[in-house]
Amino acid sequence: MCDAAPPGSDARTEATRRAMLRRSGALAVGAVAATGSAALAGCAGRGSGDAGGNDGYAAGAGAAAGRGDPPLVAHRGFAAEHPENTVAAIEAATTVVDRVELDVRRCGTGELVAFHDATLGRVTDATGRVGRTPAGRLAELSVEGSGEPVPTLAAALDAVPSDAWVLLDLKERGVAADAVAAGAERDHGLAVAADDPAAIEAANAADPTVPTVYGARESVPARPLRPLIPGSRAGVGLPRWAYPPQDVAGIVETATALGCAAVSPRYELCLRTDIVSRAATAGLRVLPWTVASAREYGAVASVDGVGAVVSDVSLGRREP
């Protein structure tokens, strides 16, 4: 997940889409949502009795029921510890946890690649847009100076163990069907996430048995307040009353109308709004993103109902 607005996400477009979803979507996708929610239940992973398959998806019903802390989902393969979205990151992360999130884009020659940004400059020494760069050129680049190339999605998925689970975060439209097909033909568990309703609709159309996750962020005015949540190490935090109002009801309604099995909000929303309880009432699992420290994880994990936590750091965990 990230803070870039999805295509066509101006206020009027979003309001129109949400109204259409409320009017026509909820009944049509009800059966899909029920199936997906069941698939997300149980926080099944290694040793759960079901290696692979979508019912092995990490959603944390056990944690929500008080049987342990919410498990970690390795964001881009624990991006703070490894070169993000690379085969090396996946291999390293899945020795520690069995849940990994990867970003998906299409490159200039049509292949799907595991890459977050629309442009190359942040994590490589190249310039230009991913969508205009051939796969062969991407294979020559070094991600974060690691020597690891930008992998095709196929190569990234091949690095995921069969007893693990992968969340594919669709970063643009037009990739859903191919991403779902690539993930579904492998043995590991699979779910698909996006913050663009159109991408989720496309994933549902491609394969309604694959659970989908609706990503959401706080409003723009609230983002500068992130350093004050969950509070500084000196104990100075932002009072709940000082947090700008958020449309968490709209987020939950949109996820429900889309037939999603889970919602993935910025973790600050879980600490300053009632989105977790609203999602639970709607039958949605909750996967907050993205924590970067033990302090942030601890704050989010203390919220009753959080299923799994998308994290840039492994926190020294080694799950069975």
Q: What is the CATH number of the domain that holds 300?
A: 3.20.20.190
Instruction: Spell out a b/e string for 48-62, using b for 16 or more CB atoms within 10 Å of the CB, else e.
Output: beebbebbbbbbbbb
| 173 belongs to a structural domain | yes
What letter represents residue 252's amino acid?
A: V
More confident residue, 232 or 71: 71
Beta-bridge partner residues of 180: none
Average pLDDT over residues 209-236: 87
List pLDDT tens digits, range 292-312. Answer: 999 999 999 999 999 999 999
Q: Which region among 7-11, 42-46, 188-192, 232-236 has the lowest average model confidence (pLDDT)?
A: 42-46
Q: What pLDDT does residue 202 have?
A: 98
The per-residue pLDDT of the chain, averaged, comes to 84
What's the average model confidence in pLDDT over 11-30? 38
Q: Higher model confidence: residue 242 or residue 10?
A: 242
Q: Report the pLDDT value the prediction gives residue 50, as an integer from 0 to 100.
A: 40
Q: Is residue 307 part of a domain?
A: yes
* Structural domain includes residue 6: no
Per the structure, the count of domains in the chain is 1
Res. 186: pLDDT tops 90: yes
For the cut 50, the answer to whether the pLDDT of residue 47 exceeds it is no
- Does 242 map to a domain? yes
Q: What is the pLDDT of residues 117-139, one digit of tens each?
A: 999 999 999 999 999 999 999 99
Q: Choose between 316 and 319: higher pLDDT.
A: 316
Q: 64 pLDDT exceeds 70?
A: no
**Confidence tier at 116 by pLDDT (50, 70, 90):** very high
Q: Is 18 inside any structural domain?
A: yes
Mean pLDDT for 60-86 is 79
Q: Among 26-40, 61-75, 140-154, which range has the highest average pLDDT?
A: 140-154
Q: What is the pLDDT of residue 219?
A: 96
CA separation for the pair 259, 254 (Å, rounded): 9
Average pLDDT score over residue span 132-155: 98
Question: Can you tell me the mean pLDDT for 1-19?
Answer: 49
Confidence of residue 52 (pLDDT cuts 50, 70, 90): very low
Tokens standing for 295? 């302090």
Q: What is the pLDDT of residue 51?
A: 36
Q: Which domain holds residue 158?
A: 11-311
317 assigned to some structural domain: no
How confident is residue 316, by pLDDT bands cut at 50, 70 and 90? confident
pLDDT band at 23 (very low <50, low <70, confident <90, very high): very low
Inside any domain, residue 125: yes
Residue 307 has a pLDDT of 97
Burial label for 23, CB within 10 Å (0-12, 13-18, 19+), is: exposed
On whether residue 227 sits in a domain, the answer given is yes
- Answer yes or no: is pLDDT of 56 > 70: no
User: How far, in Å, CA of 312 to CA of 96, rounded?
Assistant: 13
pLDDT of residue 235: 57
